[in-house]
Structure 1
Amino acid sequence: MNRSLVSASLCVALALPLAAQTGSSTNTTPGSAQAAQRARKLDTLAPPTKDDTLRGPYGEFRANNDLLSYRLDLRVDPTDKFIKGTNTVRFRMLKDATRVQLELTPQLAIDSATMDGKPLKVTRDEREVWIDSPTTLQGGKVYSIALAWSGHPVTQGRFGCFSFDKDKAGKPWITTACEEEGASTWWPNKDQWRDEPQEGMEINVAVPNGLMDVSNGHFVGSKDLGDGYTEWRWKVSYGINNYDVALNIGEYVHWSMPKHGNTALDFYVLPENLEKSKVQFAQVPEMLDAYEHYFGEYPFAKDGYKLVDVPYAGMEHQSAVAYGNHYANGYYERDWTGVGISPKFDFIIIHESGHEWFGNAITAADKCDMWIHEGWTTYLELLYVEYRWGEADMLKYAGGLKPKVHNERPIIPPCGVNAEPPQDQYFKGALMINTLRSMVGDDAKWFADIHDFYQQFKYQQITTDDVVAWWSKRTGMELKPFFAEYLRHAAAPALELKFADGKVSYRYKAEEAKFAMPIKVGDAAHWNVITPVAGEWKSMPWTKSKDAFGVDTDEYYVNVVKE
């Protein structure tokens, strides 16, 4: 493995802030970091609400059918902030039943539910919508239910979910971003990640003349409805997770670049951002080059790649990536990792587009496994940096992620209850993956591994167990304790070191009894690879000073405790 190494003293120093934050080391955090830690609210898991306990499980009336397609027809009134539409849900029954389950926020009314034009019984509790057929829906047969709804969507959450905004000219600018709140906040659907409409969907949105709707998929056409509204039609050619489905309504200007291989590149921006976008979005082909180098062709080539101007930071809406990063490098015009690398690229373009591979093409089956989206996509940032500027800058960028890890609760929360994972899913998740690369120890093999891992699970909904099983088989290593230590326990593993009588003794302090991870120690001029295990002291000769003993915490994410 040809990887850049830094001095042993620097390797140990990089572990200091994290060690002090977790309390698992005798090291101390510098005063400024301590102050920031005190000022930040602790990341705690909120108890599940009734809505969570209803929406979280993949229960009987979801599991009895398989989604095939959606047809979403919607009319949006910016003046009254009112929406009215119909979602036609096409599905195949997997067994005989009379009931299926969808979701829609109780703040919106259900106007009708019909099958073949005949009314169906609807029962609601929180956002759950149970639809009953008077006759048995037979296993193996395909059915369609048309659910009509209307109302005033409520702006909520970090990005507003469904927001009626205004642009600088005072014209309507309406967007959606509902990953956390759930897609059923504004449209009725099977609000689960486990089942996607495998044949794709149609999205038809009517808006006042002079406005445009930009949604997922490829543009089919527009039609003047003759009543002051124009309908904009989009077709999604692939399965799509429900929170990716997006509206972007405004006075957009459209421009495009030449195709990138088989992928059309289209951009929709407000008029005042046109010239800035032509400069900033030049990073898109470079981003696609990098990710296609590691993982293969852009996964939604039939629908193309779009960047769409939005009034919030950004979101990974499939084939219609939301962009709101002020047309500047870094994140909101700042070096958000603090190590001088992030000003080289536009974080939102690179991160949110990375989700096209992890999050959109590969989707977690349950929200509890969202690290598969965020940990892998944050790792894609590292790969992008390495592809563009080399491994040394990649390791430097990875080092900038370490102070952002808090180790306050496990990355994987309880499954089946709509539980929100902690922020550590991003940074700790990426550092764990980079550690796995170091354990593999052969970059040619590693790059082949990550390519084949992605290709194996592309267009699927998977779990952490799927990830662990694949990597254990691929590497020939028993990786269940490794993944469990980083994902299912709060603290990072700590390498404990004791120095006496011309030797150094070592072991891991870890929650997983079988945790055993090879790691480089000694000094940068001549690293030794040792394999400490949890709770069991081993030793090696060491005649130099304690301070001279280094641990390669650039390539391995682990705490270091010296006694």
Structure 2
Amino acid sequence: MTLHRIAFALLCLGMTGASLPKKGEPPITAQTQKSGGPIDPDQARLRFDSADLAFEVLPETQTLRGIATLSFTAKALLDRLVVDLDRNLPVDAITIDGVTLASTAWSNPEGKLSVTLPRAVPTGGKVTARIIYGGQPHVAVKAPWDDGMVWAKTPTGEPWFATTAEGSGCDLFWPCLDFPTGEPGVVTLHITVPKGLKAPSNGILLGVEELSDGRTTWNWRVKQPNTYGIALTVGPYEQVSGSYKSRYGNTIPLFYWYLPGEEEKARGLFAEFAPTLDFFESEIGPYPFSDEKLGVVETPHKGMEHQTINAYGNGYAKAPEGFDWLFHHEFAHEYFGNQMTVANWDDYWLHEGYASYMQPLYGRWREGNARYATMLAEQRKSIANLRPVISGKVRTEEEVYELAKGGPGQDIYYKGSWMLHTLRGLIGDRAFRSVTRLAVYGRIDPRPGNFTPRYTSTDAYERIVRRVTGKDYGWFFDVYLRHAALPDLIETRTARGLSLRWDAPGGRPFPMPVDVQSDGRVVHVPMTGGIGRLWVAKSAHIVIDPDAKLLRRSVAIERYQAWRDAEARRAKVAN
């Protein structure tokens, strides 16, 4: 520990005269920029058992110094260790199983640190690397939509900073396996911060050490965290805490860290924690991290689903639905993202679609169908249908979230949400709850202690639906996930009644049932083979899908979107 502190002190002295990086600096390589995608063959040989991460953050020089002790099990013969680490954080020293390596034993030209091992590690063998590194980490331009360190000041001028890493990944701050299945079994964090600052982080607080010069080291431990969910968040925080007695019989610790001077607003947000938990536990199942905490921390960026320490930066905004959508959305990711994680970014609609659908479903739970319909209608306006939701390939985060790189973009949020809404109407509430529970926990009877975080995929989700319902809904998922265009319901009114026909992309039959309201009476039309007929009087007033259960093409919305986009372009030119 003494050598650790000496290294930090030397770094601080060396950086005193250094200039501070601007937003987007220092630049990162294409390797560091991407997260996920095809897995490096050397990294595929590793099972990540544990990480012990010691950080010191120096806001005056915007410097990060770290000592990472990483333990792995070899799944195949290993002669080198490959981990991801931004080259802006150069390595000072590496030891392997206690043996100090010469500097020629490692290289990191593009952000993939390759270490030649002093001896080969056989299948099933263990290897532990201790990596000392540090420098000025990349500064985010507009977090959390891009990643890096966010340096800020509180309204009273005190240091306030945070990390965000979903897009580019954990390698911006620590040596890791930067793909979804690279989760370590356990991570222990030691975060040393200047006097007067606090460092709430993931998992359970093991203790706070006060150093002789007034700095403090905050020690945390978290089990099986999502790698981009490891978070450094530092500020002069105050804390409100409490506990929630779960309907499953256990007690869950609740914490919110906020900036000084905001106690009334903070307590207002904190009051949402318990009812939100009650909703999720009633609709989905037990809170996945009840033996750690439900934690939220105020950040100088909008938000992120950092496991058990969700980032919140919504400014305590008020909304007509009566709850904070950002807190709710990020909390939903504790279930859909942290407990249930997809192995491939291509399937991230399961994270974002479910997390987005939980808001209108919560509105329904609180106020009924009118609020549910209103919130879904607001989401519907944002569905773009420019790309299929999934590609069937192994993709990086950017290849999914960015339209410019061929991804579906925000459709993984809102189209995913509406698809789930339509699925729930199709298979019924009871089956939908069972499907969701199996997807999240891998079992229908979750209880605290009988499940752990798990990986899933779109294909696995389809199999769950088939298992629960006893029916093959491949036609449903093919249209909504694997094609960009929405199915179009063609209506033909004749003297003999009403004819309905689904025109679905891909040309396959789309047997989605349709409700038709005729003079106030609702008739359920099966649409076998994608075609349905209904006798109605010539004078009858017809409303198709009166409860808006179906995600389908809307000419009105397409015209609205075209007008909205044209107005935005016109305003941009005028300014």
Structure-2 residue corresponding to 1:147? 131
Kindly tell me the number of residue pairs found equivalent between the two proteins: 500
Q: Deviation of residue 437 (structure 1)?
A: 0.6
Match for residue 309 of structure 2? 320
Q: Deviations over 1:17-66 (max 9, x none)?
A: xxxxxxxxxxxxxxxxxxxxxxxxxxxxxxx9566779521231121111
Do the aligned partners of residues 402 and 124 (structure 1) sit closer, same or farther apart at CA in structure 2, a change above 3 Å counting? same
- Per-residue deviation at 1:538? 4.9
Stretch moving more, 282-291 or 453-462:
453-462
Greater shift, 310-319 or 537-546, is seen at: 537-546
Is the 8 Å Cα contact of residues 308 and 320 (structure 1) preserved in structure 2? yes
Task: Give yes or no for the alignment of 1:415 onto 2:394.
Answer: yes
Matched residue, 1:18:
none
The match for 1:211 is 197
Q: SS where residue 87 of structure 2 aligns?
A: coil
Aligned twin of 1:285: 274
Name the SS for the 1:300 alignment partner.
coil
The one-letter code sitting in structure 1 at the alignment partner of 2:552 is V
Q: Does the 8 Å CA contact 1:520/1:529 hold for their aligned counterparts?
A: yes
State the alpha-carbon separation in 1 of the partners of residues 70 and 484 from structure 2.
40
Aligned counterpart in structure 1 of residue 211 of structure 2, from 203, 225, 237: 225
8 A Cα contact 2:33 2:168, kept in partner: no
Q: Which amino acid aligns with 1:168?
A: P
Q: 1:96 is matched with which residue? A: 77
Structure 2 residue matching 1:381: 3-state secondary structure: helix
- Paired residue for 2:224, among 224, 233, 239? 239
Partners of 2:348 and 2:88 lie apart in 1 by 27
Q: Does 1:436 align with 2:423?
A: yes
Check whether the contact 1:294–1:450 (CA below 8 A) recurs between aligned residues: no
Q: Quick one: which amino acid aligns to residue 163 of structure 2?
A: T
Of 148, 172, 187, which residue of structure 2 is paired with 1:161? 148
Pick one of 537, 551, 562 that aligns with 1:557. Answer: 551
Shift of 1:232: 0.8
Task: Give the unaligned 5+ runs of structure 2.
Answer: 1-28, 402-408, 444-451, 557-575
User: Are 1:254 and 2:243 counterparts?
Assistant: no
Query: What SS does the aligned partner of 1:165 have?
Result: strand
State whether residues 64 and 100 of structure 1, in contact with CA within 8 Å, keep that contact through their aligned partners in structure 2. Answer: no
1:481 paired residue among 467, 470, 475: 475
State which of 291, 294, 299 in structure 1 corresponds to 2:288.
299
Look up the match of 1:268. 257
Structure 1, 90-99 or 431-440: larger mean CA deviation: 90-99
- Equivalent-residue separation in structure 2 for 1:255 and 1:51 (angstroms): 37
**Distance apart, 1:325 and its partner CA:** 1.4
What does residue 359 of structure 1 align with?
A: 337
Q: Could you tell me which residue of structure 2 aligns to residue 529 of structure 1?
A: 524
Structure 2 Cα separation of the partners of residues 546 and 196 of structure 1: 59
Deviation at 1:497, TM superposition (A): 2.0
Query: 1:243 corresponds to which letter in structure 2?
Result: Y
How far is the alpha carbon of 1:108 from its aligned partner? 1.9
Q: Match of 1:149, as an amino acid?
A: Y
> C-alpha offsets along residues 295-325 of structure 1, whole Å, 9 cap, x if unaligned?
2221111111111111222111111111111
Partner secondary structure for residue 355 of structure 1: helix
Letter in 1 for 2:84: E
Distance 1:423 1:139 in 2: 42
- Of 492, 514, 519, 2:513 maps to 519
Correspondence list, 1:305-344, <5 A: 305-330=294-319, 341-342=320-321, 344=322
Q: In structure 2, the residue corresponding to 1:75 is in which secondary structure?
A: strand
Unpaired stretches in structure 1, ≥5 consecutive residues? 1-47, 331-340
Q: Residues of 2 paired with 1:202 and 1:515: CA distance?
A: 53
Contact (CA 8 Å) 1:72, 1:202: kept in 2 or not?
yes
Paired position in structure 1 for 2:57: 76
1:62 to 40, 43, 53: 43
User: Does 1:507 pair with 2:501?
Assistant: yes
1:181 lines up with 2:168 in the alignment: yes
Q: Which moved more, 1:204-213 or 1:132-141?
A: 132-141
Report what 1:382 is aligned to.
360
Aligned-pair CA distance for 1:501: 4.0
CA contact (8 A) 2:46 2:74 kept: yes
Segment of structure 1 superposing worse, 113-122 or 282-291: 113-122
Report the equivalent of 2:107.
Answer: 123
Rounded to whole Å, the distance in 2 between the matches of 1:456 and 1:382 is 25
Is the 8 Å Cα contact of residues 55 and 67 (structure 2) preserved in structure 1? Answer: yes
Pick closer, same or farther for the CA change 1:98–1:247 going to 2, 3 Å.
same
What is the CA distance between 1:439 and its match in structure 2? 0.7
1:360-404 CA-to-partner distances (Å, cap 9, x unmatched) read: 111111222111110011111122112211233212221221101
Normalising by structure 1, report the TM-score.
Answer: 0.83
Tell me, in whole angstroms, the C-alpha distance in 1 between the residues paired with 2:33 and 2:492. 47
Tell me the secondary structure at the aligned position of residue 261 of structure 2: helix
Q: Flag the 1:183–1:74 CA change in 2: closer, same or farther, 3 A.
A: same
More deviation in 91-100 or 401-410?
91-100
State the secondary structure of the residue aligned to 2:419.
helix
Secondary structure of 2:542's match?
Answer: coil
Normalising by structure 2, report the TM-score. Answer: 0.82
CA-based RMSD:
2.4
| Secondary structure class of the residue paired with 1:401 | helix
In the aligned structure 2, how far is the partner of 1:131 from the partner of 1:546?
Answer: 76
Q: Cα–Cα, structure 1 residues 131 and 512, in superposed 2: closer, same or farther, change >3 Å?
A: farther
Shift of 1:153: 0.9
Tell me the amino acid that sits aligned with residue 525 of structure 2.
I
The one-letter code sitting in structure 2 at the alignment partner of 1:416 is R
Which residue pairs with 2:158 in the alignment?
171
Task: Please say if residues 495 and 538 of structure 2, whose CA atoms lie closer than 8 Å, have aligned partners that are also in contact.
Answer: no
Give the residue type in structure 1 aligned to 2:131.
L
Distance 1:471 1:322, change over 3 A: same
Measured after TM superposition, the shift of residue 544 of structure 1 is: 3.3
Using the TM superposition, give the Cα deviation of residue 248 of structure 1 relative to its aligned residue in structure 2, in angstroms: 1.0
DSSP 3-state at the match of 1:328: coil
**Is the 1:496–1:560 contact (alpha carbons within 8 Å) kept by the matching residues of 2?**
no
Q: Aligned to 1:306, what secondary structure does the other structure show?
A: strand
Alpha-carbon distance in structure 2 between the residues aligned to 1:559 and 1:547: 21
Cα-to-partner distance string for 1:128-170 (whole Å, 9 max, x where unaligned):
2222213211111222112221110121253153112111111
Matched residues, percent identical?
28
Q: Say if 2:511 and 2:531, in contact at 8 Å, map to a contact too.
A: no
Distance of 1:517 and 1:146 partners within structure 2: 58
For 2:426 and 2:439, the matched residues in 1 are separated by 16
User: Residue type of the partner of 1:407?
Assistant: N
Counterpart Cα distance in 2 of 1:257 and 1:417:
39
Q: Shift of residue 258 of structure 1?
A: 3.2
In the alignment, the residues of structure 2 paired with residue 448 and residue 373 of structure 1 have an alpha-carbon distance, to the nearest angstrom, of 17
Structure 1 residues 278 and 451: alpha-carbon distance in aligned structure 2, compared to 1, 3 A threshold: same
Q: How far did 1:354 drift?
A: 1.0
1:487-538, CA deviations, whole angstroms, 9 ceiling, x for partnerless residues? 222111111222334233332222234352422232063333334478x655
The equivalent of 1:44 in structure 2 is none
Q: CA deviation at 1:553?
A: 5.9
Aligned equivalent of 1:453: 439
